[in-house]
Amino acid sequence: MQVYRYSAPEFDPYGEPRPVAESGAGAWAAPVADGPLVATVRLPGSKSLTNRELVLAALADGPSRLTAPLHSRDTALMISALRSLGAGIKEIDGEGGFGPDLLVTPGELAGGVSIDCGLAGTVMRFLPPLAALALGPVAFDGDESARRRPMRTTVDALRALGVDVNDDGRGALPFSLYGTGSVRGGEISIDASASSQFVSGLLLVGARFDEGLMLRHTGEKLPSMPHIEMTITALAARGVDVTSPEPGVWVVPPAPIRARDVAIEPDLSNAAPFLVAALVAGGTVRVPGWPQTTTQVGADLETLLPLFGARVSRDGDVLVVDGGDGVRGGAALPGVDLDLSRGGELAPAIVALAALAGGPSRITGIGHLRGHETDRLAALAAELNGLGGAATELEDGLELEPRTLTGGPWHSYEDHRMATAGAIVGLAVPGIEIDDIGTTAKTLPQFPELWRRMLHPDLPAAGAAPLPVP
């Protein structure tokens, strides 16, 4: 077991956005929509729900079955990390065509392991507090781009909880901690303005601290509130009642986390590019399995897409988005003025759509996207402007002026949602070449095939996408 000691280069927490590869050989030619869509797109499970339930199941008081979980790079990384820490995770028969169910059997947590976080925010922010409950050292690292994602809040929180953390002071991966098998817990303050995942990671594990946890957020803003609600709801379903005596303060009582079988909802944020496609290509896109009620922020698409002129309805458990003529059919979509702080992960798809609208748009509340898989504000502006667009970065968002875009390379920056944003633009703009469509495997390995089938429902399926290997 190697405990990291290193000297780090000069650190810029967000760094320059870095395209992965030059377009050309190996690039994916984004298909253009050649008519209005009549598509039904069934989507695999939610990343956020799957990775929360994996963590909670590994900490629970008995085995839990996860039905219809997501199988993607982010969940594969979570599974191998939890296994290495001592949880038993078995694949068992599943229905639905997106891979097996998972049977999670908690085990004694033991250190002496290195955890690969890949580029998964949920792995790098949820597992360090859990690893502090293990006995022995646990090292964390990830992709090169992961080393640019903000982690200082996790490191500081662990130290405030009395955990011994060894890092190089950059507030980023890699770092290691030394678990003593228990954490006393109690009251701590953190600044979670860079990511809600700092809050979720501590809440998920707090019930297993000896004294529970009282967590206070001290920063001025807190993005992605629905994801924190998702954490609290998942805990409540397992018998842990988190209270919030005032905004930005949460109290987690020390309590057993109950074993529970849980069905994972489809990923509603991954529905975004497909639903947006109805407004670009025109026609109708239907997503079955849309939950009646949910904590997923993707549910906001029901109110966001009508701002661009879509008609959204429900047909039983199917969400139906009718995009009318769409951009390809000559519709001039209205621009929007939106605060997307609740749902930053929807922003790349919404920005791609706004870039095709007939009026100017302003999308704000998303400064924290600079610490996502890449600096998404810089990356979106660079890629759109490279095609002749007029996108201007704001401190916490983007401004877009309507322009006619022309085809060309689109870089994905190792970011699944940058890749899918490029596919959206490519529906209306011939000649978009995406350098690394494979990066969609982070949360949706089936993306290229589902996109193709959305456009050509009559063509035979190309075969199941292979399950990801981290």
Ligand X SMILES: O=C(O)C1=C[C@@H](OP(=O)(O)O)[C@@H](O)[C@H](O)C1
Ligand Y SMILES: C=C(OP(=O)(O)O)C(=O)O
Interface residues toward ligand X, by CB under 6 A: 48, 121-122, 195-197, 200, 223-224, 227, 344-345, 368
Q: Which lies closer to ligand Y via its Cβ, residue 127 or residue 259? A: 127
Do residues 157 and 128 lie in contact, with contact meaning Cβ atoms separated by under 8 Å?
Answer: no
Residue 65 interaction partner, one of ligand X, ligand Y, none, beta carbon < 5-8 Å per kind: none
We find the least distance from the C-beta atom of residue 154 to ligand X, in angstroms, to be: 12
Residue 154 interaction partner, one of ligand Y, ligand X, none, beta carbon < 5-8 Å per kind: none
Can you list the positions of beta strands (E) in 395-464? 397-401, 408-410, 432-434
Residue 412 interaction partner, one of ligand X, ligand Y, none, beta carbon < 5-8 Å per kind: none
We find the least distance from the C-beta atom of residue 120 to ligand Y, in angstroms, to be: 5
Do residues 139 and 1 lie in contact, with contact meaning Cβ atoms separated by under 8 Å?
Answer: yes
Residue sitting closest to ligand Y (CB) = 121
Annotated binding residue 370: no
Q: Please tell me the distance from the alpha carbon of residue 147 to that of residue 127, in angstroms, as a whole number.
A: 16
Q: What are phi and psi of 41, to 5 degrees?
A: -120, 110
Residue keyed to tokens 């970065």: 393
Q: Which lies closer to ligand X via its Cβ, residue 70 or residue 455? A: 70
Integer angstrom CA distances of residue 192 from 117, 180, 360, 383: 20, 26, 31, 29
Residue 284 interaction partner, one of ligand X, ligand Y, none, beta carbon < 5-8 Å per kind: none
We find the least distance from the C-beta atom of residue 76 to ligand X, in angstroms, to be: 16
Residue 120 interaction partner, one of ligand Y, ligand X, none, beta carbon < 5-8 Å per kind: ligand Y
DSSP 354-368: HHTSSS-EEEES-GG
The question of whether 345 is a catalytic residue gets the answer yes
Residue keyed to tokens 């996108």: 391
Annotated catalytic residue within 91, 187, 211, 345: 345
Residue 212 CB coordination number (10 Å): 20
Annotated binding residue 52: yes
Annotated binding residue 5: no
Q: Which residues bind ligand Y (CB under 6 A)?
A: 120-122, 345, 372, 417, 443
Q: Which lies closer to ligand X via its Cβ, residue 218 or residue 406? A: 218
* CA atoms within a 13 Å half-sphere pointing along the CA-CB vector of 268: 24
Residue 61 CB coordination number (10 Å): 13
Annotated binding residue 90: no
Q: Which lies closer to ligand X via its Cβ, residue 64 or residue 197? A: 197
We find the least distance from the C-beta atom of residue 442 to ligand Y, in angstroms, to be: 7
We find the least distance from the C-beta atom of residue 306 to ligand Y, in angstroms, to be: 23
Q: Please tell me the distance from the alpha carbon of residue 101 to that of residue 116, in angstroms, as a whole number.
A: 23
Annotated binding residue 258: no
Q: Which lies closer to ligand Y via its Cβ, residue 120 or residue 151? A: 120
| Among candidate residues 136, 140, 171, the one with its CA nearest the CA of residue 157 | 171
For helices 47-59 and 225-237, the axis angle rounded to 10 degrees is: 40
Do residues 212 and 182 lie in contact, with contact meaning Cβ atoms separated by under 8 Å?
Answer: no
Do residues 199 and 168 lie in contact, with contact meaning Cβ atoms separated by under 8 Å?
Answer: no
Residues making up the binding site for phosphoenolpyruvate: 47, 121, 149, 197, 376, 417, 442
Q: Please list the active-site residues.
A: 345
Residues making up the binding site: 47-48, 52, 121, 149, 195-197, 224, 345, 372, 376, 417, 442
Residues making up the binding site for 3-phosphoshikimate: 47-48, 52, 195-197, 224, 345, 372
